[in-house]
Amino acid sequence: MARRPIVGITAYGREAGPRGIQFSLPTAYVDAVRRGGGLPVVLAPGEADPQACLEALDAVVFAGGGDIDPQLTGGGHDTNYAVDAERDRFELGLLAGSLEREVPVLAICRGLQLLNVARGGTLHAHLPDVFGEGVAHRVPPLDPVQHTVRLEAGAGLGRVFEAGELEIASWHHQAVDRLGEGLRAAAFAPDGVVEALELEGAPFVLAVQWHPELQDEPGSPQLGLFQALVELARSHRR
């Protein structure tokens, strides 16, 4: 029996917990990788050589979480939260190695933003200031909210989703402003917010602004993202 592809999932940064400082990750990411056919491994930030992690991995999920350092994104806002330099350094190094080695990547929410920043792009610091309140991308107390996204014609995500319009779970207050080098917007919210990215010449990169791990029940189109990642990992391993 062939072994399941090993999929690393980036963890949140250090934070105070009931028994001291801890790393954490919502279990939905782990469950979604399992449902997609992968063997999940949680990756804690802090490694001196992030790319060394790739020796043991077949694919990487860059999870959501707090904001990237505003010095990297093009400007801050008083709503910035959970900025973590250690996590930024770790994930930027891990992403650079993944792209160089063509290790399959699924970048989710913060992960998509990290991809854009790593390629020299910038972020809108707070969406309501730019796009207004016509589409809620996050609601108090920071709960996910449902809205539609439209896939661009010819987008590579078409190999995952049959429909051109999707109902997704959104949970963010920042998004892509200026696109990074080699990136193309692959999906949009009704208010024009970029909801997915593609990297030219890199079919092994899947990047979505929404949270597919919150909609990964059997039969859900969103589970297809994790299944696609695992299939890419199998192909990459051969």
Angle, in degrees to the nearest 10, between helices 27-35 and 223-237: 60
| 211 annotated active-site | yes
| 141 preceded by a cis bond (ω within 30 of 0) | yes
Backbone dihedral angles phi then psi of residue 137, each to the nearest 5 degrees: -100, -15
State yes or no: is 91 an active-site residue.
no
- One of 109, 126, 173, 198 is an active-site residue; which one? 109
The reply to whether 213 belongs to the active site is yes
Instruction: Give the span between the Cα atoms of 62 and 22, in whole angstroms.
Output: 19
User: Which one is catalytic: 124, 172, 173, 211?
Assistant: 211
Spatial distance between the Cα atoms of 104 and 182, rounded to a whole number of angstroms: 17
Residue 156 backbone zone (phi > 0: left; psi -120 to 50: alpha; other: beta)? alpha
**Catalytic residue IDs:** 109, 211, 213
